[in-house]
């Protein structure tokens, strides 16, 4: 059973798809990454398995149509240095088993545990007014292929109604992405745009198998190029086009 092309038009005021080699001072790729596009589809519809530990399918991004030429804007933002604790710790806070320890942006050394502030200012080169038409397919995991029509119908119903589990975003959660389902197959005029992006992040998870919240990172990259306003995305399983690290025993 061949998956159908699920098309979304997405847009927003700002976006930042951070290049990993420029992590300290954030600098965005000129075009949305496959992982960020997958995140938008996941926000609209993802199907957990019965045990709730994994999913019943994954999204395969196939193509990105760039509807507006990349335009950068320089921003300076305050970022909190510390990370949120593990989920188990937060659950103990919620049940009163442990006293909450908030993350302070400012305060004295006793509160922060350091003589420095809990935040830092960083420069961000973000994209202004990004707009894309995304193409993706649902890929059920083995044994669930017969559910593909139901998965696709449920996604289209949710996307057409503007429903989502959480607000989709463009790289950073403070940059919301808005969406609409494209069902009529109409074509949008694309800008005359050719960009050799070079090596681009493909995804941070192993998309070859159902994952869980405790999986370690699995970074994959590919050679990205925009031709005539279109960036073709290779299939994750194409090892000649998508470069992946060796799989450890826990990733196998």
Q: What is residue 250's predicted lDDT score, i.e. its pLDDT?
A: 52
Q: Which segment of 50-59, 101-110, 206-215 scores lowest on mean pLDDT? A: 101-110
Q: 130 near 169, Cβ under 8 Å?
A: no
Q: What is residue 1's predicted lDDT score, i.e. its pLDDT?
A: 79
Q: What percent of the chain shows pLDDT beyond 90? A: 66
Token pair listed for 140: 């059920």
Q: What is the mean pLDDT of residues 183-188?
A: 76
Q: How many CB atoms lie within 10 A of CB 164?
A: 17
Question: What pTM was computed for the model?
Answer: 0.86
Q: What is the mean pLDDT of residues 125-132?
A: 96
Q: What is the mean pLDDT of the chain?
A: 88
Q: How would you classify the pairing of strands 6-11 and 72-80?
A: unpaired
Domains of the chain with bracketed CATH = 6-74+123-243 (3.30.70.2660), 82-117 (no CATH)
E strand residue ranges, 94-219: 119-128, 131-140, 178-182, 195-203
Higher pLDDT, 73 or 217: 73
Residue 155 has pLDDT above 90, yes or no: yes
- Element housing 78 (H / E): strand 72-80
Tell me the CB-side half-sphere exposure of residue 55, using CA atoms within 13 A.
19
Q: What is the mean pLDDT of residues 178-190?
A: 85
Q: What is residue 35's predicted lDDT score, i.e. its pLDDT?
A: 96
Kindly indicate the confidence band of residue 194, based on its pLDDT and cuts at 50, 70 and 90. Answer: very high
- Element housing 36 (H / E): helix 34-44
- Element housing 230 (H / E): strand 230-232
How far is it, in rounded angstroms, from Cα 5 to Cα 138? Answer: 8
User: Quick one: which of 70, 81, 97 has its CA closest to 24?
Assistant: 81
């Amino acid at each position: 059973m061949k998956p159908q092309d699920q098309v979304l038009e997405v847009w927003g005021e700002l976006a930042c798809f951070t290049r990993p080699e420029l992590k300290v001072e954030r600098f965005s790729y000129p075009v949305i990454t496959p992982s960020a596009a997958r995140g938008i589809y996941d926000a609209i519809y993802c199907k957990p398995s019965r045990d709730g530990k994994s999913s019943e399918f994954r999204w395969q991004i196939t193509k990105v149509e760039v509807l507006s030429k990349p335009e950068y804007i320089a921003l300076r933002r305050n970022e909190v240095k510390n990370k949120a604790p593990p989920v188990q710790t937060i659950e103990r806070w919620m049940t009163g088993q442990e006293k909450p320890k908030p993350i302070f942006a400012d305060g004295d050394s006793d509160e922060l545990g350091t003589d420095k502030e809990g935040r830092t200012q960083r420069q961000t080169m973000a994209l202004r007014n990004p707009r894309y038409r995304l193409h993706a397919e649902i890929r059920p995991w083995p044994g669930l292929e017969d559910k593909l029509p139901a998965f696709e119908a449920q996604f289209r119903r949710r996307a057409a109604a503007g429903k989502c589990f959480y607000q989709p975003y463009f790289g950073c959660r403070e940059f919301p992405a808005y969406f609409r389902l494209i069902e009529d197959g109409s074509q949008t005029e694309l800008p005359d745009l050719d960009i050799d992006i070079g090596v681009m992040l493909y995804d941070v998870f192993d998309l070859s198998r159902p994952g869980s919240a405790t999986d370690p990172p699995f970074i994959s990259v590919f050679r990205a190029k925009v031709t005539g306003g279109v960036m073709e995305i290779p299939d994750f399983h194409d090892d000649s086009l998508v470069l992946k690290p060796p799989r450890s025993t826990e990733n196998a």
